[in-house]
Amino acid sequence: MKKAVCLFSGGMDSAVCLYCARNEGYDAVALSFDYGQRHEKEVEAAHRLTHDLGVPHHVIRFKLPWKGSALLERDGKLPEYRDPEKMPKTIPATYVPARNSIFLSFAFSCAEAEEAEAIFFGANVLDYSGYPDCRPEYLEAFTEAMRRGTKAGAQGRAIEIKAPLICLSKKEIVLLGRKLGVPFEKTWSCYAGGERPCGVCDSCVLRAKGFREAGLEDPLLS
């Protein structure tokens, strides 16, 4: 069976992406990160979901001591919005310096060791927070760098980055997840990490937009 490494935060998009990999017939290995972010609720959600699916789950733990993001400063203030249309087009304070490059580097290392053909990554460029490391041109460039700089690439076994959500709206992601049977009640998206989603951080606002436009209720809010 073909194999894939799935970057898996435990959030809505990465859960749908993991289910996409399985739906495409891949034997999945999930990769999550504890990198000193404000809370571990997403990692806990990732553990529950992978346990239920019987998917191998690696959690990579490291620290970024230079900070540089609202997600790394537990006492810092997160940007708050209530209307997704009013979210600024500039790169937000929740951007973590080069985070996706770090994550994808680990994913390629894992994929080489596992002899996986693909890496599934839940990047999106429609309803998203404006991060530059979620764009198709970035993924194309990173894939080429890894083709040139890995044993697999040198031997003609280049590993593909698959981003099935890249051009989907949040509404389409919710509907795709529902079709694939994603248990959204077990995912976690909120940056604040409270008992319930805060409803005003970037991630909460975009998630709410998706469920609202899909005509569905978010089970985390019921």
Domain locations along the chain: 3-221
Confidence (pLDDT) at 127? 78
Q: CA torsion, points 31, 120, 145, 68, in degrees to nearest 10?
A: -60
Give the pLDDT confidence of 113-142 residue by residue, as tens digits: 999 999 999 999 987 778 999 999 999 999
Give the CATH superfamily of 3-221.
HUPs (3.40.50.620)
At residue 88, the pLDDT reads: 75
Which among 70, 176, 199 has a CA at the least distance from the CA of 131?
70
Residues of the chain under the 70 pLDDT cut: 82
**What tokens appear for 85 in the block?**
């249309």
